[in-house]
Amino acid sequence: MNFDFNLILSSLPQIAAGLGITLKLMAYSTAIGLVLAVLILLMRISGRWYLTWPAMGYIYFLRGTPILVQIFIIYHGLPQLDFVRESVLWPVLREPFGCCVVALSLNSSAYISEILRGGVLGVDKGVNEAARALGLSAPQRFIYIVTPIAVRLALPAYSNEFISMMKATALASTVTLLDITGVARTIVSNTFAPFEIFIAAALIYLAMAWVFQVGFGKLEDYLGKYTKRGASA
């Protein structure tokens, strides 16, 4: 076969047209996902069965099924129900963008809540006991003592999930969205050059991943500056 190296370069600007959608998908999904994740986490660690069980079920369902299936259920499945099409949610679910944000947010919230739970469980018991000895109430202890430490502990795993989310946005191309992958697939079906075009798309994802990786690295350094070994405090 002929490998056209120039095609990679010349298609980059075209494919980058999908960057906006990809970034918007990520921004909405990670933000909503994080808020949901905190709620699920609070339910999960509440110690009350009627809150814990639903949270566990939610996590089990969303972690145990492929995101693609979740997108298809939301995009193709829900509109089959008449009441969904007449509900207030229809303006969101009518749009493929809305469906993808819903699916990606729900999916990432399940993972993130588990990541955060890992952080909370990692907080040393003694710290909590010391705070209690100082007379801090349970909510105060959670907000001022546990949370900062838990966030620091959870950050490396969270950055992993963040980059996974970036890659998961490519699934949006299966429901007509023209994100990076969607644009690439359209170009491929016109040029019949899948190798070059998808390599170009991969390069854009790699560039984004690099930015996020460096960003999270910096954030970890910043949050961990007091705990670094050998750091003079």
Residue 54 phi, psi (nearest 5)? -60, -40
Q: CB 196 → other proteins: shortest distance, Å?
A: 16
Closest CA to 14 of 170, 196, 212: 196
Closest C-alpha among 65, 64, 75 to residue 100: 75
Rounded to the nearest whole angstrom, what is the least distance from the CB of residue 24 to other proteins in the complex?
Answer: 17
Report the residue from 2, 6, 190, 232 that binds other proteins according to the rule CB under 8 A: 190
Which residues in the 21-80 window bind other proteins by CB under 8 A?
76, 79-80
Q: Which of 65/176 has CB closer to other proteins? A: 176
Q: Which is nearer to other proteins, 63 or 94 (CB)?
A: 94
* Residue 108 Cβ vs other proteins, minimum distance, rounded to whole Å: 24
Q: Which two tokens stand for residue 44?
A: 């999960």
Nearest distance, CB of residue 98 and other proteins, angstroms:
11
- In angstroms, what is the minimal distance from the CB of 94 to other proteins? 6
Burial 91-125 (b: 16+ CB within 10 A, else e): eebeebbbbbbbbbbbbbbbbbbbbbbebbeebee
Which CB, 12 or 93, lies closer to other proteins? 93
Closer residue to other proteins, CB minimum distance, 79 or 118: 79
- In the 8-state DSSP scheme, what is residue 228? S
Find the binding residues for other proteins in span 157-186 (CB under 8 A).
Answer: 174, 176, 178, 182, 185-186
Which of the residues 86 through 115 are near other proteins (CB under 8 A)? 94-96
User: Which residue number, 85 or 225, has a Cβ lying nearer to other proteins?
Assistant: 85
Dihedral sign, Cα of residue 59, residue 65, residue 66, residue 71: negative
Write the DSSP symbol of residue 229.
Answer: T
Please report where in the chains the tokens 């303006």 appear, as a residue: 91
Rg from Cα positions in the chain:
21
From residue 127 to residue 156, the character string flagging contacts with other proteins as x (rule: CB under 8 A) and all else as - is ------------------------------
Nearer to other proteins, 58 or 75 (CB): 75
End-to-end CA distance of the chain: 61
Find, among 95, 110, 102, 99, the residue nearest to 44 by Cα. Answer: 110
The pair of structure tokens assigned to 15 is 């494919």
Which one, 86 or 124, has the nearer CB to other proteins?
A: 86
Return residues touching other proteins (CB under 8 A). 76, 79-80, 85, 94-96, 174, 176, 178, 182, 185-186, 189-190
